[in-house]
Amino acid sequence: MRKLIFAALLAGTAATPAFAQDAPADLSGFRVEGIVGYDRADIEDQGTDGVLYGVGVGYDFQAGNAVLGIEAEATDSTGDECGTTGALVGDELCVRAGRDLYVGGRVGAVVGGNTLLFAKAGYTNARVGFTYDDGSAALPADFAGHQNLDGVRVGAGAQFGIGANSYIRTEYRYSNYQDGFDRHQVVGGFGFRF
């Protein structure tokens, strides 16, 4: 029994320098990042896939291993889908998942010294564009427009420090908008902290 206790004390003492090396990095302050990823936009079970791209900014507050932050993003998407409505022979309706604005917060925990695991939630506003061509020169029923949709976004991800002030991150997020529109996105980012 004494040998077991001595071994446990020795192991704990030997592991102390390793814990000291894994002290959490300071993630407080302003940050800016570029974002790119996969965007799946759905309107009542009809969807389109595209590439999401944009920029984000934020400010994080750290207390020990806990991190709280506020953030904002502006993104756009290449998602575009066309199909017939069936109202007229040869007609075509195209819907484009356009820009998306987001503001919200995140909460996370620093693990392994330089890695942040986080969850996020906030308000998002998407612009959906549409065009309609009736397929006929005789009936001038063509139109185009857009609609802004309010929604809520939730997500989770990980951020990995790769330098004193730079990081990469990945996350999954889900946005639910009014009028049956929602989005699933998997994104990556590269950023700098100031």
Position 122 in a domain = yes
pLDDT digits (tens, 9 = 90+) for 121-170: 999 999 988 777 776 666 666 777 788 999 999 999 999 999 889 999 99
Task: Kindly state the percentage of the chain with pLDDT values over 90.
Answer: 56
Is a pLDDT exceeding 80 seen at residue 24?
no
Tally of domains in the chain: 1
Q: In sequence order, what are the beta bridge partners of 152?
A: 123, 176
Is a pLDDT exceeding 50 seen at residue 15?
no
Position 54 in a domain = yes
Q: State which residues form the domain around 138.
A: 22-193
Q: What global pTM score does this model have? A: 0.77
Average pLDDT, the chain: 83
How far is the CA of 27 from the CAs of 31, 43, 66, 155, in angstroms? 9, 38, 10, 20
Confidence of residue 62 (pLDDT cuts 50, 70, 90): very high
* Residue from 95, 55, 94, 54 nearest 77 by CA: 54
Q: What is the largest CA-CA distance in the chain?
A: 97
* Residue from 71, 131, 129, 128 nearest 102 by CA: 71
Position 13 in a domain = no
Burial of residue 116, with CB atoms counted within 10 A of its CB: 0-12 exposed, 13-18 middle, 19 or more buried = buried
